[in-house]
Amino acid sequence: MGYVINIEINGYEFKFGYLGYPYGGLGVYIDFDNEKIKRDISLKSDDLLEAIKELFHCSAELDALYTITNFEMHELQGRGWEALTQYNSFNTLERYKQKALIVLNSKIADAEQLATASTIISILEGNYIFPPPVEKTPEQKAKIAFDKNKNRLKLKLTVKLGYFCDNCATNKENSLCLVQKTKDPFNYDLENLTLRCRGCINKLKPKQ
């Protein structure tokens, strides 16, 4: 089964999302091994049938809940709330807004889904106050600049010295990394850089 969300209706637990092979696409998953469901089927209770009917009557809510949860679990992680407006088109933002409004009026949304939907609306209406960015240290800024130029520096070093590990002379493709000769947090000049294979990087690490 693929990515799913849990839904509870009238005391019954269901799942909604990508069901995976061989079903494919979005759909509802009913666990017929669930004790409550098994008992009510054996008793021929109408409660389960009514819950399933209710489930299919709220298809718009299910779609909105899935969209908002998918955003929170995937797009938001590692990026922060700035990702909402930085990485989405106007049409996508309008879609998120409509889904969020549905979630806020949903009777089956959980606290996390409601919080995510509320924040989306707040940002899109200009009412959300973003926390101030954490100031990076000079060491972090130097490392970011190095990472940005790493491929260019590696090419320069290869042209200058050749493509081989400075410790064991291996030249296997994709085995060489660009490392500092001395662990100066600010010195990423070409003279302080060398190519080293992963094996030697681990072997030459200073012992703790």
Instruction: Check residue 29 and give its pLDDT.
Output: 82
More confident position, 204 or 1: 204
More confident residue, 17 or 112: 112
Is the same domain home to 47 and 146? no
Task: Annotate the chain with DSSP letters as a single string.
Answer: --SEEEEEETTEEEEEEE--TTT-SEEEE--TTSHHHHHHHHTT-HHHHHHHHHHHHTHHHHHHHHHHHHIIIIISTTT-THHHHHS--HHHHHHHHHHHHHHHT-SS--HHHHHHHHHHHHHHTT---PPPPPPPPHHHHHHHHHHHTHHHHHHHHHHHH-SS-TTT----TT-EEEEESS--TT---GGGEEEEEHHHHHHTSPP-
Q: 86 and 184 share a domain?
A: no
Residues of the chain with pLDDT > 70, as a percent, come to: 93
* Mean pLDDT, rounded, for 171-192: 88
Q: Is residue 132 part of a domain?
A: no
One domain for residues 145 and 95: no
Segment 60-87 mean pLDDT = 85
pLDDT given at position 16: 85
Q: What is the pLDDT of residue 23?
A: 59
**Model confidence at 206: pLDDT above 70:** no
Among the three residues 74, 99, 124, which one is the final residue of a domain in this structure? 124
Query: Is residue 36 included in any domain, yes or no?
Result: yes
Are both 12 and 99 inside the same structural domain? yes
Residue 118 lies in domain:
4-124
Crossing angle, helix 90-104 and helix 59-70, to 10 degrees? 120
Query: Is 25's pLDDT higher than 50?
Result: yes
- Over residues 11-22, mean pLDDT: 78
Domain match, 103 and 143 both? no
The pLDDT assigned to 22 comes to 60
Task: Determine, yes or no, domain membership for 130.
Answer: no
* Residue 129 domain-assigned (yes or no): no
Residue 46: pLDDT over 70 = yes
Q: What is the spatial distance between Cα 139 and Cα 203, in angstroms, rounded to a whole number? A: 25
Please provide the average confidence, as pLDDT, over all residues in the chain. 87
Asked if the model's pLDDT at residue 1 lies above 50, the reply is no
- 187: pLDDT strictly greater than 90: yes
* Percent above pLDDT 90 for the chain: 44
On whether both 118 and 142 belong to a single domain, the answer is: no
Q: Residue 207 pLDDT more than 80?
A: no
Q: What pLDDT was estimated at residue 169?
A: 92
- pLDDT-derived band of residue 114, with 50, 70 and 90 as boundaries? very high
